[in-house]
């Protein structure tokens, strides 16, 4: 029998609808800590406004939605649309940033893609996360823009990584 993970160990599991509340709170906190330097207050406000509670159960049901846990606290999540080879979202809680959680979530998403026979991972990186994805082996494809339902546009960078 393998030993139980020690304090501070990170483990990943597939999310359930019951995780939606914790994921929603984490998502907001992660944006407010990680993305504010690269987007205007108007953009951040518009972004948070579309992240209503209803978004999360739908996303958990429709994607490969994985969460990271540290001592049973949700400390990160990643959503992947395997059929489209797209990693839709990777967000880490402020208290867990810089400890390898993002790396573990992206590696896990890539594993899911490869297991499904996919040969590439694609994503639109927020400007603050571009260096992180380069570090993970992703290359820039070009500038892109996510237009929110309010009409506010968010600049991002399209990136890809061949999976072997």
Ligand X SMILES: CC(C)(COP(=O)(O)OP(=O)(O)OC[C@H]1O[C@@H](n2cnc3c(N)ncnc32)[C@H](O)[C@@H]1OP(=O)(O)O)[C@@H](O)C(=O)NCCC(=O)NCCS
- 10, 22, 26, 35: residue in contact with ligand X (rule CB under 6 A): 35
Q: What are the phi and psi torsion angles at 39 (to 5°)? A: -135, 155
Smallest gap from residue 25 Cβ to ligand X (A): 14
* Cβ pair 33, 97 in contact under 8 A: yes
Does 157 sit near ligand X (CB under 6 A)? no
Residues within window 12-31 making contact with ligand X, judged by CB under 6 A: 30
CB of 94 to ligand X, least distance (A): 8
Stretch that binds ligand X, among 17-25, 84-92, 109-117, 139-147 (CB under 6 A): 84-92
Do residues 101 and 65 make contact, with C-beta atoms less than 8 angstroms apart?
no
- Output the DSSP codes for 21-33: HHHHHHHHHHHHH
Binding mask 98-137 for ligand X (x = CB under 6 A): xxxxxx---------------------xx-xx-xx--x--
Backbone φ, ψ for residue 105 (5° rounding) = -70, -40
- Neighbouring CB atoms inside 10 A of 71's CB total 12
Q: Does 59 bind ligand X (CB under 6 A)?
A: no
- To which residue do tokens 């992947």 refer? 80
Please give the residue ranges that form the binding site for ligand X (CB under 6 A).
30, 34-35, 90-92, 97-103, 125-126, 128-129, 131-132, 135
């Amino acid at each position: 029998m393998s030993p139980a993970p020690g304090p501070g160990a990170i483990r990943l599991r597939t999310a359930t609808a019951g995780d939606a509340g914790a994921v929603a709170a984490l998502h907001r906190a992660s944006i407010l800590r990680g993305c504010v330097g690269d987007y205007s207050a108007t953009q951040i406000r518009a972004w948070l406004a579309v992240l209503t509670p209803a978004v999360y159960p739908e996303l958990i049901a429709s994607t490969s939605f994985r969460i990271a846990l540290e001592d049973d606290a949700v400390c990160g999540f990643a959503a992947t649309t395997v059929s489209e080879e797209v990693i839709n979202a990777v967000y880490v809680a402020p208290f867990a940033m810089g400890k390898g959680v993002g790396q573990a979530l992206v590696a896990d998403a890539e594993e899911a893609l490869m297991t499904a026979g996919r040969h590439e991972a694609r994503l639109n990186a927020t400007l603050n996360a571009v260096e992180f994805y380069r570090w993970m082996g992703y290359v820039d494809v070009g500038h892109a823009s996510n237009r929110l339902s309010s009409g506010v546009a968010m600049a991002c960078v399209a990136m890809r990584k061949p999976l072997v």
